[in-house]
A and B are shown apart, each in its own frame.
Chain A
Amino acid sequence: MGDTAAGWLQVTALVVALGLSYRPLGDGLAHVLTTERHWRVERLVYRAGDVNGDVDQRWPVYLRGLLAFGLVSVLFLYAFLRLQDHLMLSLGHEPVPADLAFNTAASFVTNTNWQAYSGESTMGHLVQMAGLAVQNFVSAAMGIAVVAALLRGFTRQRTQQVGNFWADLTRLVLRVLLPLAFVFALVLVAAGVIQNLHGAHELVTVAGGHQSLPGGPVASQESIKELGTNGGGFFNANSAHPFENPSGLTNLIEIYLMLVIPFALPRTFGAMVGDHRQGYAVVAVMVVLWAASVALVTVNELHRISSPAGHAAGAMLEGKETRFGIWASALFAVSTTLTSCGAANSAHDSYTPGGGGMTLFNMMLGEIAPGGTGSGLYGILILAVVAVFVAGLMVGRTPEYLGKKLRGREMRYASLYLLTTPALVLVGAGLAMAFPGERAAMLNPGPHGFSEVLYALTSAANNNGSAFAGLSADTVWYNTVLGVVMLLGRFLPMVFVLALAGSLAGQQRVPVTAGTLPTHRPQFVGLLTGVILIVVGLTYFPALALGPLAEGLR
C-alpha cells in the first residue's frame, strides 16, 4: 500500500472510531451530569472530603469551590515539586527550582502541561504519578464541570442554581476518566508502552557503548494525558519517545484518546438541551475546521512548501519519527493543537512555515475544534452566542439562543471571554520581544524565532502546552510570565462562563417564533464557522504576518 492510500485509511479509521463513540460517550456523559443518584463510592468521597454533594449551588458558590480547588492544587503541587528529594521514588533528582516549580504547578492545574523541564532528568516517579498525573484527571474534570454548568444555564429557568461542583468533579473522575484511562493504559502496555517503577539502569549496548535505560509508570500517565487533553509527557520528547508511543498503532490510539471526549461533548449538549440537532450543528463546525486543518498541514509537509531545509533533505522528516512518517505526524500535530492537549509526536518547530503556522493558528482559534475536555465546548458555545448576536443585529431583533435572550449582560460576559486570551497572548508576546534577554531565548533566526515566542504565549494562554521547543523557556522570566498567563488564561474564562451560566439560568425561556434564528441548520454551521474565522483572523492576523506568514512568503 502506498503512503497516500495508507494515510487516507488512517484518517478514515480515526473518523469512524470517533463517530462510533459519539452517541454512547456523549449520552453517557449527559447521564453522569444529570442523574440524581450517587454511587456509594462517591458518597464515601464526599464524606472523606467533607463536602456536600447534594445541594444545587448558585453560580458564585460553584465558582468558589472550583477556584478553591484550583488554588489548593497549585500550592500542593508546588510543595510536592519543591520537596521531591525527601520522598520515595525520587530517583535521586534534586528539588525543582522555585520558578520552574511554580510554572509546572500552574501548568498542570490549568490543563496546559507546558513543560519547561525535561521529564527524565527532573522528575521522580512519585511526583509524576501522585502529583502531575492527578492534575491530569482533575483538571480535565474541571473543564467538563464548567461546561456542564453552562448547559444547565441553558436548560433551567428562573433559578440561580447551576449544579454541584463537587458532585460533577467526583463523578467525572470516577465514572468517566478513571475507567477509560485504566482500560486504555492496559491497551497501551500491550502495544509496547512501558509501565514499571524502575529507575534508569546502565547497560552495555549492541556495539559495546553505554546507555542508561529509563523506566517509569508511563502507560498509566500516557492514557490520561491524551484522554484529559493534558499533554504533559513523561519524557522530554513526549509522544515522539518510543517508550510513550512505540508504533503506528499506539499513535492512532493516542490521537483517538485526545479527540474522543471533546468530539462527544456536543452530543451531551444536544441531549441536555433536549434537541440533538443542536449538537450535530456544533460538531459539524468542529469537524469542518479539524478536517481543513489536517488537509492544510499534511499538504504543506508533503510538498515541503517554502522549506529550504526540507528540499535539501528530500522530505520534511527533521523532527519526525521514521515509524510515523509525514501523515501520522501531521494528524497528531493538528489534533493536539485543535484540542488543548499539546502532546507532540514530532517537533512542531521543524515543520514547514505553513504547517507550523497552522498549528499556531489552531490554538489561536481558541481550541474549539473540538477543543479541550469541556473547554472546547464552552469555547465554541461562546462563539455561537456571538454568531447568534451578529445575526440578530442583521435583522434588527433581540437575539435568542436555545430559547434564552442574549441581552447586554450575556454579551458582556461573552465579549470578556473572547478578549481575555488574545490580550494575554499579544501583550505577553509584545513584552517578551521588548526585552533583549527574552529575545535571546529564541533558537532559530528571523521570523521563525518570533514564531517561537508567539507560539509559547499562545500555547500558555490557550492552555495547550505544546511548543516550538527551540525556545529556551526555562528562565525565571518565562517561567513566571507563562505561569501567570496560564492561570489567567484558564480561570478568567471560567469565571465569565459561569457568570453567563448564572445569567442564562435566571431567565424564563422564550417560545420559538417564525422570527427565531434556527441554530441547527447548515446555514448556522456556515455562519458560526465564518464568525470563528473572522473573529480570530482579525485578532491575530498582524502577529501571524510577522511570524509564519513572513517566513513562508520570503
Chain B
Amino acid sequence: MVRTALPVVLRHHLAALRMLLVFTVLTGIGYPLLVTGIAQAGLADRANGSLLTAHGTVVGSRLLGQDFSLRQRTPRTGRRGPLPDPRWFQPRPSAGGYDAGNSGATNLGPTNPVLTATVRARRAAVAVFDGVPPAAVPADAVTGSGSGLDPAVSPAYAYQQVPRVARARQLSPALVRRLVARHLHGRELGFLGQPYVNVVSLNQALADAAGRGGAGLRRVRG
C-alpha cells in the first residue's frame, strides 16, 4: 500500500488530520445545523432575535438597545456628540453609539481621570435634561454598559424621565408612568439579575400611545 511507504511522522499527522475532519463534520456542521433546525422549527421568535415589530415592519430587537438621540439635520452646533431627544426615554451611554455591528465597552479604568470627568459631566447634563437634582441621577444613567447595546435602564432612571417625556409629547404624566410600569421587568425567577425597564419596547409602546393620541409622532418619524 502507498500509506506504508509514507514516513511514520507524516502518517501520524495524516491520521490526526482525518480525525480533525471527522470532528469538524460532527461538531462543526452536524451539531450547529441540528440545533438551528430545531430552534427554527420550535422557537423561531427567540432564535431570530426576539424581534420587535410596528405596523408589520421590524423596528429592532427587544434585546438590543437603540439610539434615541436627535439626528442632527441642522449644521453642527459646536457641541460634542448627539443630543438626547426629549420625546424618548433615553438609554444608557454606549461605547459604540448603539451600533449593533460594533459591540463593546469603553474599558476605562476605575482610577482613570477621563472616566471620572465624563461621569461628572454626564451627571450634570442628565440632571438638567430631566430637571432633577444631580445627586438623584442613578448610576446607570452616567455609565456605559458592557456590550454598548444594553436595552435596559434601572426603574429609577426610567421613572425619573417620565415628567420630561410627558411634557415633550404633551401626554399626561400618569399615562406615561403607567406605560413604564407595564414595561417593568422583575428579577428572573424572582432572584436572578436586576429589575429593569426595557427602553426599546417602552419607547415603541410610547410611539403607539402617542400615535393614538395623535401627538408628536409624525415629527419624530420625519
Whether B101 and A242, one on each chain, are in contact in the complex, defined by CB atoms closer than 8 angstroms, is no
In the bound assembly, the distance between CA atoms of A220 and B27 in angstroms comes to: 10
In the bound assembly, the distance between CA atoms of A207 and B38 in angstroms comes to: 34
CB distance from B59 to the nearest CB of A (A): 5
A61, closest chain B residue (CB): B12
CB distance from A93 to the nearest CB of B (A): 12
List of B residues within 8 angstroms of A100 by Cβ? none
Q: Is A169 close to B, CB under 8 A?
A: yes
List of B residues within 8 angstroms of A319 by Cβ? 105-107, 143-146
Whether B64 and A213, one on each chain, are in contact in the complex, defined by CB atoms closer than 8 angstroms, is yes
- Stretch of A26-34, A178-186, A402-410 with 4 or more beta carbons under 8 angstroms from chain B: A178-186
CB distance from B93 to the nearest CB of A (A): 9
List of B residues within 8 angstroms of A120 by Cβ? 100-103
List of A residues within 8 angstroms of B99 by Cβ? 211-212
Whether A309 and B110, one on each chain, are in contact in the complex, defined by CB atoms closer than 8 angstroms, is yes
Whether B154 and A240, one on each chain, are in contact in the complex, defined by CB atoms closer than 8 angstroms, is no
Given contact pairs A242-B149, A320-B145, A554-B111, A76 touches B193 in the complex (Cβ within 8 A): no
Whether B111 and A308, one on each chain, are in contact in the complex, defined by CB atoms closer than 8 angstroms, is yes
Given contact pairs A213-B64, A323-B196, A353-B111, A204 touches B139 in the complex (Cβ within 8 A): no
Q: Is A433 close to B, CB under 8 A?
A: no
| Size band of the interface chain B makes with A | 35 or more
Whether B152 and A322, one on each chain, are in contact in the complex, defined by CB atoms closer than 8 angstroms, is yes
In the bound assembly, the distance between CA atoms of A190 and B110 in angstroms comes to: 36
Whether A237 and B149, one on each chain, are in contact in the complex, defined by CB atoms closer than 8 angstroms, is yes
Given contact pairs A207-B85, A319-B146, A322-B194, A213 touches B49 in the complex (Cβ within 8 A): yes
Q: Is A157 close to B, CB under 8 A?
A: no
Whether B154 and A322, one on each chain, are in contact in the complex, defined by CB atoms closer than 8 angstroms, is yes
- CB within 8 Å of B: which of A228-261? 235-237, 240-243, 246-249, 251-252
CB distance from A496 to the nearest CB of B (A): 21
Q: Is B181 close to A, CB under 8 A?
A: no
Residue from A13, A204, A323 within 8 A of B193 (CB atoms) = A323
Whether B108 and A236, one on each chain, are in contact in the complex, defined by CB atoms closer than 8 angstroms, is no
- Stretch of B40-48, B159-167, B170-178 with 4 or more beta carbons under 8 angstroms from chain A: B40-48
Residue from A207, A249, A345, A353 within 8 A of B146 (CB atoms) = A345
Whether A209 and B71, one on each chain, are in contact in the complex, defined by CB atoms closer than 8 angstroms, is yes
Most buried by A among B35, B59, B147: B147
Q: Is B125 close to A, CB under 8 A?
A: no
List of B residues within 8 angstroms of A198 by Cβ? 48
B138, closest chain A residue (CB): A314
- Stretch of A132-140, A334-342, A514-522 with 4 or more beta carbons under 8 angstroms from chain B: A132-140
List of A residues within 8 angstroms of B24 by Cβ? 130, 134
CB distance from A41 to the nearest CB of B (A): 9
- Our count of residue pairs bridging A and B at CB distance below 8 angstroms stands at 380
List of A residues within 8 angstroms of B16 by Cβ? 65, 68-69, 71-72
CB distance from A458 to the nearest CB of B (A): 17
Most buried by A among B32, B68, B119, B204: B32
Whether B191 and A6, one on each chain, are in contact in the complex, defined by CB atoms closer than 8 angstroms, is yes
Whether B19 and A69, one on each chain, are in contact in the complex, defined by CB atoms closer than 8 angstroms, is yes
List of A residues within 8 angstroms of B67 by Cβ? 205, 207, 209, 211
Interface string of A121-132 (1 = CB under 8 A from B): 100000001110
- Stretch of A363-371, A385-393, A440-448 with 4 or more beta carbons under 8 angstroms from chain B: A440-448
- CB within 8 Å of B: which of A454-483? 468-470
Which 4 pairs of residues, A with B, have the shortest CB-CB distance? A248-B193, A240-B146, A248-B192, A130-B28
Jot down 23 A-B pairs with beta carbons below 8 A, ordered by A.
A48-B18, A50-B14, A71-B16, A129-B28, A186-B35, A195-B39, A196-B40, A203-B60, A206-B66, A211-B99, A236-B103, A242-B150, A243-B63, A308-B113, A309-B111, A309-B112, A312-B120, A313-B142, A321-B150, A322-B152, A347-B107, A444-B107, A551-B111
Chain A: residues with CB nearer than 8 A to chain B? 1, 3, 5-6, 9-10, 13, 45, 48-51, 64-65, 68-69, 71-73, 76, 118, 120-121, 129-131, 133-134, 137-138, 166, 169-170, 173-174, 178, 181-182, 185-186, 189-198, 200, 203-209, 211-215, 217, 219-221, 224, 235-237, 240-243, 246-249, 251-252, 306-310, 312-325, 328-329, 344-347, 349-353, 356, 443-446, 448, 468-470, 551, 554
Besides the known contacts A213-B49, A248-B188, 15 further A-B residue pairs in the complex with CB atoms under 8 A apart: A1-B187, A3-B194, A50-B18, A186-B38, A207-B203, A237-B104, A242-B63, A314-B142, A315-B143, A319-B143, A319-B144, A322-B150, A322-B194, A328-B192, A444-B107
